[in-house]
Amino acid sequence: MTNSYLCSSLLVLNSAKCFQLSVEPKPHLASEGECTTRGGALAGVKTVAEQEFLTGEIRLGTDVSHWIGLKNGPEQFLYTDLSTMSSQLRWMPGKPENLCALLDKNGNYDLNADFCTEQYNYVCESDVVTCKQNVCLNGGNCTSCFNESYAYCECAPGFVGDRCDINVDECPSDSCQYAGRGVDGVNSYTCQCVPGFTGDDCENAKDVIIAGDGRKLDPVAVVDAMEHALCATRPRSRYVVGWDAWLVFVPISWLPTDLGDLVLRVLSPKITPACCRKDGE
């Protein structure tokens, strides 16, 4: 299946999760709100694969630090004996300030923590789900993310395009031999062969008649004429096969012999019988 998204700004990992990078910095809480508004959430990066994927995409884009959906809170303060903090104690107003995690440009996009009130760009994420309305054509499967903001088409073999609307031309220009005509199909092609040739690529010639100048002639018409001359009750006095015979060779035959020979010498390449040819001729 061929995959494509209707919007190229969307990043997709393993056809299972969509990411979107912000274009402007915000505090952590506001970033979370923005991602929720779009139908997703601030990206909770949970695997090294996701971290490396996002690192690569951020480097290609804005190349600045990005918030992710990870933070600590006051309940995580521990006494030095590792027991949890007493709930009876009072903090100063606004303290402790929460720390939030970011992919830090200065640390090669390893995790760092900063006060959540600081402003950084951010990464939103969304699951990939089946579209409510299938906008993909020609049997493509439609999935979407960020609350249907983005539709995602998995195209059936032989189709590409954002909506699988392009039928791939599988027919290479030289695939059909002996002047056969290629016809594109769905994930395939067929060849329409000229008379006398068969095979998927017209590669099988029943009987090929090679003219003196190397052209391959239609053997069926020639054989039909010969058969008629031999077997017909009333054979014709003359058989003319092909437009070149009608337009060139018959008119030349009406000329005086010397003049006809001269015209043929001028028009035709020199024809040497095979037994008289030297190598390379």
> Which of 51, 74, 54 minimizes the C-alpha distance to 63?
54
- Of the candidate spans 9-17, 32-40, 147-155, 178-186, the one that interacts with Ca ion by CB under 5 A turns out to be 178-186
Residue 48: count of CB within 10 angstroms of its CB: 8
CB of 135 to Ca ion, least distance (A): 21
- Contact with Ca ion (CB under 5 A): which of 184, 203, 218, 224? 184
Query: Does 114 interact with Ca ion (rule: CB under 5 A)?
Result: no
Residue 234: count of CB within 10 angstroms of its CB: 5
CB of 137 to Ca ion, least distance (A): 14
Residues 6+ apart with CB under 8 A from 114: 99, 100, 102, 120
CB 2 within 8 A of CB 160: yes
Instruction: Lay out the site mask for Ca ion across 145-174 (x = CB under 5 A, - = otherwise).
Output: -------------x--------xx-x----
Q: Residue 184 or residue 224: which is nearer to Ca ion going by CB?
A: 184
Q: Residue 188 or residue 204: which is nearer to Ca ion going by CB?
A: 188
CB of 141 to Ca ion, least distance (A): 19
Give the tokens for residue 184: 């594109």
CB of 142 to Ca ion, least distance (A): 21
Q: Residue 140 or residue 158: which is nearer to Ca ion going by CB?
A: 158
Q: Residue 118 or residue 184: which is nearer to Ca ion going by CB?
A: 184
126-133 LR contacts (CB < 8 Å, sep 24+): 126/17, 126/18, 126/20, 126/38, 126/39, 126/40, 126/41, 127/16, 127/17, 127/18, 128/12, 128/15, 128/16, 128/17, 128/18, 128/152
CB of 197 to Ca ion, least distance (A): 23
Query: Residues in contact with Ca ion, total (CB under 5 A)?
Result: 5
CB 180 within 8 A of CB 189: no
- Of the candidate spans 51-59, 101-109, 180-188, 197-205, the one that interacts with Ca ion by CB under 5 A turns out to be 180-188
Which stretches of the chain bind Ca ion, using CB under 5 A?
158, 167-168, 170, 184
